[in-house]
Structures are given as C-alpha cells and as structure tokens.
Homo-oligomer: A and B are copies of this chain.
Amino acid sequence: MEKKIAANTARSKEKSKQRFLDAVGKILKTKGYAALKVNDIAATAGLDKKLIYKYFGGTDQLLDQYISSQDFWSNVKGEKIPQTITDGGKDFLTGMFLEQFDYVYKNKEFQKVLLWRLSQQRNSLKKLAEDQEANGELILQNITDPYFKEKSEDYRAIAAILVAGIYYLNLSTTYNGSIFCGLDLKSDHGREKIKNALSFLVDQTYENL
C-alpha cells in the first residue's frame, strides 16, 4: 500500500522544497545571482544537493520555480489604482514614482532581480519583464492614456525615462558608489533632491505636455 505524504514530521518533501526555494532567495539577496550554485544552495538550505535534482530536476528548474513563486510587482499592482481620479492621475503617479524610488532602494532582492534580468537570458526572467509591462499597462491605459489622449505616447516616453532612471540610480548607488552627478544618493539630502526632481518633472509634464 502507498504511504501518505509526510507533512508535519521532520522529513517532509514539501517543507524541504520550500527550504530550497528560501535558500535561493537568501543567496540572491545576500550574494547575487552569480552565487546561485547547487552546492551553495544545498548548504544554505541545510540539505543535500541530490535532493535538488530529485525534487526540481536541477538548479535551473529550481531557479525557475523560485522566480515564478515571487511576486516582484506587488507594489505596482492594478488593485492600488484609486477609484476616483480627477487630476489625470497626477498625484497618484507622482506618489507611485516616489514610492518606487524608495522601494527599489530598500529592496536589495528586487535590485538583484533587476540585475539578474539584465545579465541572463532565462525564460522565466523574460516573463518577469512581461508581467511588469502588463502591470504598467493597467495604469497607463486606465489613467494616463485617457488624460493625455493623442499625447499619450509622449507621456509614456516620459514615464519610461523616469522609471528607468529610478532603477538605474538605485542600482548604481548600491554597486558603483553613491555619487551620481555630484549628488550623494545614499544621503537623505541627495535622495530628497531626486524626489523633488521627480515631482517637478511630473508636474511639468501635466502642465505643459
């Protein structure tokens, strides 16, 4: 007769699988994608690497499963769109950009994923870019496109520059050094200047585009 699957005992397949997935997250956060090697992952999980092959098929499949198990775009989700928007979304979008600037700064795991995406061609990583686009489309189509109408593409171009700027500034701050254009992006003062600049640019766009 077949055995039941252990769930609350010391030896549980599901719990072990989760430990591997957690180990991937931990290594990614602390050492980056380049350190995601079988031996290291197994050691971090406190289990034998053989199990990675047994449960996932290999490191690649484990990484794929990790990526699809995470929701990296939760902070830009469509559900956050307020119901009543009267200003073409200016306040909402400004808040979103400023929030995103801090979110990326604080979230080292997110930064590593951004880098991972730029450095490796993995289908599950490509899917992340698509998810991001899908989430962005919600906001663009529902809020800004109707407001900017025939200028909607011009607005999208500005949004693209701001989002990309937010990403790269934070990556550069973490990995290259904190000075960018003479501003110290690790200091409150420097970061405040960037936020003011973001607000200013959004303002100008809503005023004069």
Contacts and interface: CB of A to CB of B under 8 A. Distances in A.
A167 interface: yes
Contacts of A179: 129, 133
B130 A177 contact: yes
A99 to B, nearest CB: 16
A1 interface: no
A82 B182 CA distance: 22
Given A115-B119, A165-B162, A204 B208 contact: yes
5 contacts: A118-B175, A129-B172, A157-B194, A160-B194, A164-B172
A161 interface: yes
Contacts of A121: 175
B161 A193 contact: no
Given A157-B193, A161-B169, A168-B171, 4 more contacts: A115-B115, A160-B197, A201-B201, A204-B208
**What does DSSP make chain A's interface, helix, strand, loop or mixed?**
helix
A156 B181 contact: yes
A182 B133 contact: yes
Nearest to A169: B164
A108 B21 CA distance: 34
A209 B208 CA distance: 13
Interface residues of A, number: 54
A209 to B, nearest CB: 7
A48 interface: no
B183 A160 contact: yes
Given A165-B164, A182-B140, A183-B156, A177 B119 contact: no
A182 B200 contact: no
Given A158-B201, A197-B154, A175 B119 contact: yes
Interface in A179-199: 179-183, 185, 190, 193-194, 196-198
